[in-house]
Structure 1
Amino acid sequence: MRAFRVAYDGRPYHGFQRQPNVPTVEDAIFDALRGLGVLAADAGAPDGYAAAGRTDAGVSAITQTVAFECPDWLTPRAFNGELPEHVRAWASADVHDAFHATHHATSRAYDYHLYAPTADVDRAAAALAKLEGTHDFADLTAASDDDTTRTVETATVVREGDVLRVHVRADGFLWELVRRLVALVRSVATGDRDLDAVDRALATEPLPDHERVGPAPPEPLVLVDATYPEVAFERDDEAATSATTVFESAHATAVSRARVTSALRDGVDAPSADTDDSPR
């Protein structure tokens, strides 16, 4: 059995887990294994297969972890030979036959890159501090699970220019928990809600529907860690370099596009003095 660390840009996909008739990251992984002859054409999944988590549509990952039975020659660089370029394996570890990538993760961590130039970072930090610890998060999830109690180990925020990077680590995450948590924190940080709104969201008494917060957009969310204390992943330098090159190229394209939209915004907001508005 081998576990792989996989990074991906989730924005072109309808989430990690397979769904009918739409592209998912899991489909890309299984298609690559079929192309390599590791997975039979008629097989649903490799023997022993499991993944660290099921990211939503548009959510990306640095350390998504998948484990399954495979031949010794399947290294991250060999895996990348069949994976699409925006899905990159970059590290691996041999694990025992009973290893389960979902159940054996002791914690997971996400970063949310929140564009919030006017938000008060101290108010955001105060809101996040209230969310640390063991709570019933029934009012901050779209899940219908009977057990909505989770332990948030750390919840922190740092300002990086116009962006607040919100970091949350927990023993497990409910559906949309991070995105709803971020939306709540943003509303407190911008003054739209008071700090007591966090306490009300964590209280035993359910919130009325008009007070519940919806999820923040998925695209700024990244799975940054899945922790396995007894597993030592070995970085594949060639595979990691391939991943860095792919994502650097995507970053350069995104920066260029952002500059164009900024120019459009600024041009419409403050037209230059020599603009000729006369009809032609």
Structure 2
Amino acid sequence: MVRIALKVEYDGAPFAGWQRQADQPSVQGAIEAALAKLEPGAHTIAAAGRTDAGVHGLAQVAHCDLKRDWTPFRLSEALNFHLKPAPVSIVDAAVVDDDWHARFSAVERRYLFRILMRRAPATHQSGLVWQVKNPLDVQAMQQAAQHLLGLHDFTTFRSSICQAASPVKTLDALEVKAKETLWGDEVHFRVRARSFLHNQVRSFVGTLERVGSGAWAPDDVKTALEAADRARCGPVCPPQGLYLAGVKYPQDPFSKSVT
């Protein structure tokens, strides 16, 4: 038996999320079905994070256990062949220790959220960004974001169906930056923490968008946070602008991957 870590890229639009579903397509289900083509039988893979419906993956990490002595290169090539035409790609693979775990060994998750600011409907970026029609005040949003850094009770920014044992988390970074692109001006939110509550990032971005639009003052975010009341959160933004952008481990499993 060999355990192999997989770095996975996917477009979340056609999926009900990462987690396997009984009657809906999922990213996990697509990869497990591809694995069954290589080694017949049931497969269960574990991932660093369970992204919601419509959320994308730039560098999701998962692991699988296989009976055959696969090289990472042969496995990734074979999986990518059997994953077609699903918008899922294995971009790297590496053999890891038997006790290594994609979720429990992770020490940090990184997310990216993209807002496209333009009035004309998005064409090439449709489904990949949250589009707003008016410019946003990036400086005000970054000022507001500072209130969210550090150790807090994030009840205000936690989904009502969140299953985490505690709303207390440490947010390590929340950077808000303007980005010029070929299709228009964007705002990028880059968020880092060891772990997140359900809908926490989308709750952050939806609230900060209210600051950027002028509907909220930066200090209103501090007031909302301290209220520890879900009703004080701004609107939860749509999922299509959100990307799981990376996962950090004490030692990068892909730094010595065999190709």
Residue in 2 that maps onto 1:275:
none
Cα 1:235–1:14 shift into 2, 3 Å: farther
Question: 2:211, 2:36 → 1: CA distance?
Answer: 48
The aligned amino acid for 1:229 is P
Residue in 1 that maps onto 2:221:
198
Q: Does 105-114 or 145-154 show the bigger shift?
A: 145-154
Which of 48, 68, 72 pairs up with 2:69?
Answer: 72
Residue in 1 that maps onto 2:168:
149
- Give the RMSD, CA atoms, in angstroms: 2.0
Residue in 2 that maps onto 1:52:
48
Paired residue total: 230
Greater helix proportion: 1
Cα 1:163–1:237 shift into 2, 3 Å: farther
Residue in 2 that maps onto 1:159:
178
Q: Please, which runs of 5 or more residues in structure 2 have no aligned partner?
A: 118-133
Note if 1:222 corresponds to 2:243: yes
Question: 2:92, 2:215 → 1: CA distance?
Answer: 43
Following superposition, the deviation at residue 83 of structure 1 comes to 1.0
Following superposition, the deviation at residue 133 of structure 1 comes to 1.0
The alignment's TM-score, normalised by the length of structure 1, stands at: 0.77
Cα 1:23–1:235 shift into 2, 3 Å: farther
Question: 1:145, 1:66 → 2: CA distance?
Answer: 20
Cα 1:235–1:80 shift into 2, 3 Å: farther
Residue in 2 that maps onto 1:6:
8
| Structure 2 residue matching 1:109: 3-state secondary structure | strand
Q: Please, which runs of 5 or more residues in structure 1 have no aligned partner?
A: 239-280
Which of 229, 239, 242 pairs up with 1:207?
Answer: 229
Residue in 2 that maps onto 1:112:
113
The aligned amino acid for 2:21 is Q
| Structure 2 residue matching 1:153: 3-state secondary structure | strand
Question: 2:208, 2:28 → 1: CA distance?
Answer: 31
Deviations along 1:250-277, one digit per CA (max 9) or x if unpaired, are: xxxxxxxxxxxxxxxxxxxxxxxxxxxx
CA contact (8 A) 2:96 2:253 kept: no
CA contact (8 A) 2:116 2:186 kept: yes
Percent same amino acid among aligned pairs? 33
